Amino acid sequence: MDYQNILDRVHAAVKPVIGSGIVASYIPELAKVPADQFGIAIVDLAGNVYRAGAADTPFSIQSISKLFALALAFYREGDSIWTRVGREPSGNPFNSLVQLEQERGKPRNPFINAGALVITDMLLTHYADDGGAGNALIKFIRKLADNNDISYDRAVAASEQGTAHRNAAMANFMKSFGNLNNSVNEVIETYCRNCAIAMSCVDLARAVTFLANHGVVPWSDETIVDASSAKRLNALMLTCGTYDAAGDFAFRVGLPAKSGVGGGIVALIPGECGICVWSPALEASGNSYAGSLALEMLTSISGRSVF
């Protein structure tokens, strides 16, 4: 498969719509990001990197951090995590409290904010004596992306915390149901830091290759999760990874994917490669507009999808 050719065709095709949509504005620091940017990268299992557009520009990964936090918690705790968080699509906006109330404080899945707060709480407990959950996640991501310069953006993290009332509402709510062991403040602070991690398309495409490779990092042969778990994480991405548009996304794109309101979307083709696209302007559901279209074209042109 000639990935470079595909990326070039996709890049040319989406050019007219780059910048269409709305840049996330509820986090002031994110609102400053210019809308008309676009990058896409593929890293295959042999380690070859393919790029188009601003594929090396770091951006705020936001909810994509939920995927790595989940992988790290799953790696450390195994299937016991499912007693505290479900694995069903939510059918509601990513920060809804209604569902959380109906389900007595157990979030529907680890990719909605409530679920990610529970995962963060697990990591906080696990890494309490080891530099903290934030450090552990950064180290984990650096290893996956093979890039020690990855860090979080302090301005974004601060900006995030200033508007974290909805998340604090959910954290307190889960605490009232006994589904949070650490303090609400610690959980929120760590969560905000994780969302503020900055990575490029190339970093992210590389960081998910282990999910396309039966759980094994291709260039280091390190096993992150076993083959069955890797499949399961992919299944979760497909059913829950793109907010409440997951059904539509599976329908149009057909690949496991996780998006963030920074405009990034990671995806992967099992057995082949990791993919990341980025363009800051979002559609109503919170996924990158040009990014979603780019992935749809990529699967149309390549004929690849999991289905």
Chain residues binding its own copies by CB under 8 A are 86-92, 96-102, 108-109, 163, 165-166, 168-173, 175-176, 184, 227-228, 230-232, 234-236, 238-240, 244-248, 250-252, 254, 256, 270, 300, 303, 305-307
Angle (nearest 5°) at CA 194 between 193 and 200: 115
Catalytic residue, candidates 60, 65, 66, 266: 66
Q: What is the 3-state secondary structure (H, E, C) of 174-241?
A: HHHCCCCCCCHHHHHHHHHHHHCEEECHHHHHHHCHHHHCCCECCCCCCECCCHHHHHHHHHHHHHHC
> Least Å distance between CB 32 and its own copies?
21
Taking the least distance from each CB to its own copies, the nearer of 4 and 95 is: 95
Taking the least distance from each CB to its own copies, the nearer of 19 and 270 is: 270
Return the SS3 of 258: strand
Q: Torsion angle, CA of 219/124/70/152, rounded to 10 degrees? A: -60
- Tell me, yes or no, if 32 is annotated catalytic: no
Return the SS3 of 244: helix
- Tell me, yes or no, if 43 is annotated catalytic: no
- Tell me, yes or no, if 231 is annotated catalytic: no
Catalytic residue, candidates 63, 200, 288, 292: 63
Taking the least distance from each CB to its own copies, the nearer of 2 and 88 is: 88
Taking the least distance from each CB to its own copies, the nearer of 24 and 150 is: 24
> Least Å distance between CB 48 and its own copies?
22
134 vs 132: CA distance, rounded Å: 6
Catalytic residue, candidates 3, 50, 191, 289: 191
> Least Å distance between CB 235 and its own copies?
4
Strands (DSSP E) contained in the chain are 22-23, 39-44, 49-53, 59-60, 151-152, 197-199, 257-259, 264-269, 273-278, 281-282
User: Largest alpha-carbon pair distance within the chain?
Assistant: 53
Residue 294 CB neighbour total at 10 angstroms: 28
> Least Å distance between CB 139 and its own copies?
27
Taking the least distance from each CB to its own copies, the nearer of 63 and 239 is: 239
Q: Look at the block and give the residue holding tokens 């996709």.
A: 10
- Tell me, yes or no, if 65 is annotated catalytic: no
> Least Å distance between CB 138 and its own copies?
27
- Tell me, yes or no, if 63 is annotated catalytic: yes
Catalytic residue, candidates 261, 277, 279, 289: 261
Taking the least distance from each CB to its own copies, the nearer of 40 and 112 is: 112
Element (H, E) at 121: helix 113-126
Catalytic residue, candidates 3, 50, 127, 243: 243
Closest of 290, 270, 147 to residue 210, by C-alpha: 270
> Least Å distance between CB 265 and its own copies?
16
> Which residues sit opposite 126 in a β-bridge?
none
Question: Which residues have a catalytic role annotated?
Answer: 63, 66, 191, 243, 261
